[in-house]
Amino acid sequence: MSWVLFFDGDCAFCSRSARLVARLDTRQRVWFASLQGKLAAESGLGGMAAKTGGSMVLLREEDGACFTRSDALIKLAGALGGIWHLARVAVLVPRPVRDAVYQSIADRRHRLASAVATCELADDGLQARMRE
Q: Where are the domains of the chain?
A: 3-126
Give me the phi and psi of 62, to 5 degrees please.
-60, -40
Each residue's pLDDT, cut to its tens digit, for the chain (132 residues) gives 899 999 988 888 888 889 999 999 999 999 999 888 899 888 888 766 556 556 789 999 999 999 999 999 999 999 998 999 899 999 999 999 999 999 898 888 877 766 554 455 556 667 788 876
Q: What are phi and psi of 31, to 5 degrees?
A: -105, 165
pTM (global) more than 0.75: yes
CB 88 within 8 A of CB 78: yes
